[in-house]
Structure 1
Amino acid sequence: MIVTPVVYCEDDQTLVDAFNHLPRPNMDSNYWSSDELKDLRGRVKTFYITAQGSRCCYCNRHLGTENHRVWDVEHIADRSKHAWFMFTPTNLAAACLDCNTAKSSTEVLTNARRVTYPSGSQHFKIIHPHFNRFADHILRVGQVYLPKTSKGKFTIYKCDLLRFAEKYIEWENRAVDRRFETEVSTVFADGLMAQAAVENIIAQLPNAE
């Protein structure tokens, strides 16, 4: 799924425009948390939860609720590093609390000095919900996330998607151990190996998520 960007209502656009006209040195990322933006934040969160079909933009899990307390508004390019992108619609999405906490302030831009927001996936290290389809970069088999691309691998590690395997499957090594990366990197080495590896993983999984 490619997520559609939010369109601000007139009142919200006024607040956005006022911020975007500030000189860059005066753009304070903490403004996002101000009381003045409470309604805007709520509308943005509701929009992206719905637009994403109640699925986290990083782990692609269906949360089964629209309750705002279990969702975060995600700034894909972190607002503490790139405050000038704070209200850019294509920089916003809805993420589960665990993925957003794990990603934290990770730099996801290939060029951290950008002053204009990128218009394509090639400028991001991470899976971008407005530019990428999850399944093109990650194969999910039950609790296991396997990278198809370098972007998929980056997302798996930076958003700690290995936490699901750690919780439900008894891996020989902890998933965060770098040896795990070597193991999963071989999965897509060739078609026969991929098929055998995936079948082996499926055999280990519980029936339910």
Structure 2
Amino acid sequence: MLNKIIFSDDEINLIGKKLNSAGFTSESWSDDDIVRLKKKIKNHYLTEQKNICPYCKQKINSNHGRYWDIEHIIPRSITPEFMFEPLNLCMSCVDCNSGKTNNKVTNSKAKKKYPIKSTDYIIIHPHFDDYEKHIIVIKEGFYYVARQKKGEKTIAICKLNRFYEFSDFGSCVQDDDRIFMLSEQLRREGSEDLKKIIRREIAELAIKGSG
């Protein structure tokens, strides 16, 4: 879980003016007068996250914008009112941000007060959730297994198993390769609870492959 960014008084005044300006929309994020503010947001969360994407857990040893996007956890296109809310901000890798796009991530209808309960969200919230409680990372950037429903939603919405979607492998090779990675993870895993989840996933893939 992350420590949120703290804005200065001047930055708070700038944000207030922006939110109350005529014609303010989600597209106001591209305005020139908040460039420095966005740079501060980026630097804070990359440092706080140690250059690790909160969704796929890949570590990217570069701060270049080609690899990172400022992430609005509740999409700004849905609720522009939360565009500068510190608890709605983090950095995500470009692939996760592109996969997540404008998908619904919360059951809350709030427009003024940001929802701060983990239960308000259907995906893992970087500020409120313990990632490991919801997802087992078999291999960063390649394959993930959900432990709970919120993990399933995060994998689906952020397209975390996207390696297989874009590979040239056939479905049988995909399943064989997944079983191999799961088996390697099973060999290294110490938790009996996690072993049960991994064994179940291997069994489901094996049954699917023999059908």
Sort the TM-score into its range (normalised by shorter chain). Answer: 0.7 to 0.9
Q: Percent identity?
A: 31
Equivalent residue in structure 2 for 1:61, among 54, 58, 61: 58
CA distance in structure 2 between the partners assigned to 1:173 and 1:85 by the alignment: 43
> Which deviations, in whole Å up to 9, do the C-alpha atoms of 1:133-175 show, x marking residues without a partner?
2111100111310001111111101101011345497642879
- The change in CA–CA distance for 1:98 and 1:113 in structure 2 (over 3 A counts) is same
Q: Which residue of 2 aligns with 1:152?
A: 151
- The change in CA–CA distance for 1:169 and 1:8 in structure 2 (over 3 A counts) is farther
User: Do the aligned partners of 1:27 and 1:84 also contact (CA within 8 Å) in 2?
Assistant: no
Report matched runs for 1:158-197 at 5 Å: 158-166=157-165, 167=167, 171-172=171-172, 193-197=196-200
> Which deviations, in whole Å up to 9, do the C-alpha atoms of 1:54-104 show, x marking residues without a partner?
011211111122223311000000101101111100000100001001100
The residue identity in structure 1 corresponding to 2:7 is Y
> Which deviations, in whole Å up to 9, do the C-alpha atoms of 1:34-68 show, x marking residues without a partner?
01111111110111111011011211111122223
- Count matched residues: 184
The residue identity in structure 2 corresponding to 1:146 is V
Structure 2 unmatched ranges of 5 or more: 176-192, 204-211
Residue 46 of structure 1 aligns to a residue whose secondary structure is helix
Q: Which residue of 2 aligns with 1:11?
A: 10
CA distance in structure 2 between the partners assigned to 1:125 and 1:56 by the alignment: 18
User: Do the aligned partners of 1:74 and 1:93 also contact (CA within 8 Å) in 2?
Assistant: yes
The residue identity in structure 2 corresponding to 1:172 is C
Residue 69 of structure 1 aligns to a residue whose secondary structure is coil
1:98 aligns with 2:95: yes
Report matched runs for 1:21-36 at 5 Å: 22=20, 27-36=24-33
Q: CA deviation at 1:107?
A: 1.2
CA distance in structure 2 between the partners assigned to 1:191 and 1:138 by the alignment: 10
Residue 172 of structure 1 aligns to a residue whose secondary structure is helix
User: Do the aligned partners of 1:28 and 1:83 also contact (CA within 8 Å) in 2?
Assistant: yes
The residue identity in structure 1 corresponding to 2:157 is K
- The change in CA–CA distance for 1:191 and 1:8 in structure 2 (over 3 A counts) is closer
Structure 1 unmatched ranges of 5 or more: 176-189, 201-209
CA distance in structure 2 between the partners assigned to 1:99 and 1:192 by the alignment: 27
CA distance in structure 2 between the partners assigned to 1:173 and 1:160 by the alignment: 19
TM-score between both structures, scaled by the size of structure 2: 0.77
Equivalent residue in structure 1 for 2:118, among 101, 117, 121: 121
User: Do the aligned partners of 1:45 and 1:68 also contact (CA within 8 Å) in 2?
Assistant: no
Equivalent residue in structure 1 for 2:49, among 35, 49, 52: 52
